[in-house]
Chain A
């Protein structure tokens, strides 16, 4: 089976290569890459984002929000009731001192966050607010809060069903809980779902975890130094990624992992400063968010348009229900898998409810979005809201921060590049774990994936934003299709752990080591 899949993949790759070689030579490399890419991915993208018949609402967004609501109700609003407990766990209050030296809750959370905090929070939110208006923020926060329950479910399972090898290393994630959990419950099809998930995860790693990042990083750099071909940025990025994941140049990865959290803190601090400078507009901004959430304030598609944008960006940014975080969280050392579930629910909170909201507030308060003074509604240009300098995506966020702190766009550019890089490294790991699940462990098999990953960095930087963002979203959401079906079947197992743990916590059997 593994051999067969491997050969198939090589054939597909070879086929794409020949096609590209035959493409007209008159086009530039960037155009060629873009065209081939859009043609190959088109049908897949349309399927994932197909609207629910009779509406303009993509079914996949509904799928994620319904799942998050189901888990929220099923676990009795765990994200609110155990929020404080989650913070105690991260602080290490419940960590056994004898386990010192193992992966702590804090480390697992920080690693997972560095995979999710990234361009989604900066560029993605700007896209959402740029189309759906400030009202999209309301729906984004709501989706973030609900998504905490999805994350809780998947990360508990990720730790519970991970593989621990004899040499002491661990591998976990949806592919393991789908196959082992289904077997335990006596439900057939777990293995097939695990394989399908792994395929989508590889595509997601190459799409949202790679091409989208490379693409936006290039947009940032060319925004500062002037326009130049994307493949140049691609090759530079690919070389650095190659040095880290193939060459084993751990020092770069370590530096990134240390700098990224500070960039995140710097970003939020800058946002808070800008909001405080404009303290007189805070009330107005929240008014716009609430009013826009239910009326749309003139945006394309009205309030449904705002809702779709908010939900979509939240899901793309915090990845709740997608399954990727379950891979990152599964390395933690704990006797109680559920504790990692509690810790993981902080992730959508930090990512979406805090960081994404900051971006949205800064864009709203900065007045980049043009309001018609006569009607109080936003002026639109096609589906987008008109902005002062016609900026969209990451440039819109940059302009919003720049309007208050003139030098901040430079800091933001560095932050974007670092976020993009750390997200790529995280996703290269998620993709690799899925790859080895399909084809087995082994140096040469791993090398094949790593090289493919680096090639996609170049493609991502060279292609236009449109096809890249479509494919990235589609691939990541496709993971959620399989993962959430699995979560529905396995949530009973999480409930059992949850009940047992809460009882022991209440009775005092589980107690703090630190006072």
Chain B
């Protein structure tokens, strides 16, 4: 059976280290696949102007294609070049929730993320996405510094 590892990328420089670690893990497991996940932070309960609503679908498509172009596709290509099975997805929502639900839905063995996201005031008050994930995830989480 294929072992799936979920790799959460957020476009920050720590992503390289996360990817390298994923690569090493994949090398250690016989039949493995890396699932690169990029999450566009989004809440269905935010307040928007009528104009933003009218353009939402268009923006969403743009957000997805930009994420694929800049982050997900280059990572997948890099892994494939190294002979590792990989695929990428982009989702909207809260980082911790979505990474967890993707891991559950794909029967993933573990989630690998960087430490960078969610610094600053909001991060101090509510905790960063990474710490939320560590606290709530259904599968083991590896955090790369």
Contact B56 A333 (CB under 8 A): yes
A167 within 8 A of partner (CB): yes
Query: Which residues of A are found within 8 Å of B50, using beta-carbon distances?
Result: 111, 115, 327-328, 331, 425-426, 429-430
B51, A429: Cβ atoms closer than 8 Å: yes
Interface size, A (range): 35 or more
A115: B residues at CB distance < 8 A: 50
Choose among B44, B45, B58, B92 the residue that contacts A169 (Cβ–Cβ < 8 A).
Answer: B58
Q: Which residues of A are found within 8 Å of B56, using beta-carbon distances? A: 101-103, 331, 333
B13 within 8 A of A: no
List of B residues within 8 angstroms of A167 by Cβ: 58
Is the Cβ of A168 less than 8 Å from the Cβ of B58?
A: yes
Q: Which of B1-57 contact A (CB under 8 A)?
A: 40, 42, 44-51, 53-57
Query: Contact between A114 and B57 (Cβ–Cβ < 8 Å)?
Result: no
On chain B, the number of residues with a Cβ less than 8 Å from chain A's Cβ atoms is 25
Give the distance in Å from the alpha carbon of A95 to the alpha carbon of B45 in the complex. 13
Q: Which 3 A-B pairs have the closest CB atoms?
A: A101-B92, A168-B58, A104-B44
**Cβ-defined contact, B57 with A168, below 8 A:** yes
- 20 additional A-B residue pairs with CB within 8 Å, beyond A260-B47, A429-B49: A92-B44, A97-B93, A100-B91, A100-B98, A101-B63, A102-B60, A103-B48, A103-B53, A103-B56, A106-B44, A107-B47, A108-B53, A111-B47, A111-B49, A169-B57, A170-B54, A254-B49, A257-B49, A331-B50, A331-B56
**Of the residues A104, A108, A170, contact of B57 by C-beta under 8 Å:** A170
- Cα–Cα distance between A356 and B3 once the two chains are bound (Å): 59
A107–B42 CA distance with the chains assembled, in angstroms: 12
Q: Which of A111, A253, A429 has the most CB of B within 10 A?
A: A111
User: Which chain B residue shows the least CB distance to A95?
Assistant: B44
Minimum Cβ distance to chain B for residue A147 (Å): 21
Any B CB within 8 A of the CB of A171: yes
* A171 adjacent to B54 (CB under 8 Å): yes
CA gap between A430 and B46 in the complex, in Å: 21
| A504 contacts the other chain (CB 8 A) | no
Decide if the interface of chain A is mainly helix, strand, loop or mixed: helix
| Residue interface bits A105-136, CB-to-B below 8 A is 1, else 0 | 01110110011000000000000000000000
Shortest distance from the beta carbon of A9 to any chain B beta carbon, whole Å: 23
Q: Which residues on B sit within 8 Å (CB–CB) of A102?
A: 56-57, 60
Contact across chains for B60 and A101 when beta carbons are under 8 A apart: yes
Do residues B54 and A169 form an inter-chain contact, with CB atoms below 8 A? yes
Q: Mark A235-257, 1 if CB is under 8 A from B, else 0.
A: 00000000000000010011001
Which B residues are in CB contact (< 8 Å) with A97? 93, 101
Q: Which residues of A contact B42 (CB under 8 A)?
A: 100-101
Residue of A nearest to B49 (CB): A253
CA separation between A168 and B55, bound complex, in Å? 7
Q: Which of A323-351 contact B (CB under 8 A)?
A: 327-328, 331-333
- What's the least CB distance linking B12 to chain A, in Å? 21
- Contacts A/B (CB < 8 Å), 20 sampled: A100-B42, A100-B93, A101-B60, A101-B64, A101-B92, A101-B93, A107-B44, A110-B48, A111-B50, A253-B51, A257-B48, A260-B47, A261-B47, A331-B54, A331-B56, A333-B57, A425-B49, A425-B50, A426-B49, A429-B51
Please report the C-alpha to C-alpha distance between residue A260 and residue B48 in the assembled complex, in whole angstroms.
11
Judge whether A100 and B58 touch: CB under 8 Å: no
A511 at the interface (CB under 8 A from B): no
Q: At the interface, yes or no: A258 with Cβ under 8 Å from chain B?
A: yes
Give the most central of B54, B64, B93: most A CB within 10 Å.
B54
B92 touches A100 (CB 8 A): yes
- Please name the residue on chain B nearest to A331 by beta carbon: B53
Q: Is the CB of A258 within 8 A of B47?
A: yes
Query: Which residue from chain A places its CB closest to the CB of B53 in the assembled complex?
Result: A331
With A and B bound together, what is the CA distance between A104 and B52 in angstroms?
12
Least distance between B118 CB and chain A CB atoms (Å)? 19
The distance in angstroms between the C-alpha atoms of A169 and B52, with both chains bound, is 10
* Interchain CA distance A425-B92 in the complex, whole Å: 27
A6-62 interface (Cβ within 8 A of B): none
**In the bound complex, do residue A100 and residue B44 qualify as a contact, i.e. CB atoms below 8 Å apart?**
yes
- In the bound complex, residues from chain A placing their C-beta under 8 Å from that of B101 are 97
Shortest distance from the beta carbon of B68 to any chain A beta carbon, whole Å: 14
Residues from chain B with a CB closer than 8 A to the CB of A169 are: 54-55, 57-58
Q: In the assembled complex, which residues on chain A have CB atoms less than 8 Å from the CB atom of B92?
A: 100-101
Contacts of A332 in B (CB 8 A): 53
- In the complex, residue of chain B having the shortest beta-carbon distance to the beta carbon of A165: B58
Q: What 0/1 readout, one digit per residue, does chain B (105-127) give for beta carbons within 8 Å of chain A?
A: 00000000000000000000000
What residue in chain B is nearest A101 (Cβ atoms)? B92
For B50, B56, B61, the residue with the greatest tally of chain A CB atoms inside 10 Å of its CB is B50
Tell me which residues across on chain B come within 8 A of A426, comparing CB atoms: 49-50
Chain B contacts for A164, CB-based, 8 A: 57
Residues of chain A within 8 A (CB-CB) of B49 are 111, 250, 253-254, 257, 425-426, 429
C-alpha gap A331/B58 in the complex (Å) = 12
**Complex Cα distance A429/B42, Å?**
24
A41 to B136 alpha-carbon distance, docked (Å):
62
CB neighbours of A257 from chain B (8 A): 47-49
For B53, the chain A residues whose CB sits under 8 A away are 103, 107-108, 111, 328, 331-332
CB distance from B89 to the nearest CB of A (A): 11
Chain A contacts of B46 at CB under 8 A?
107
| A110 touching B47 in the complex, CB below 8 Å, given contacts A169-B58, A171-B54 | yes
Query: Quick check: B57 and A111 within 8 Å, CB to CB?
Result: no
**Which B residues lie within 8 Å of A108 (CB)?**
53
**How long is the Cα–Cα vector from A97 to B50 in the complex, in angstroms?**
23
Q: Which of B46, B56, B60: most chain A CB closer than 10 A?
A: B56
B67-104 contacts to A (CB < 8 Å): 91-93, 98, 101
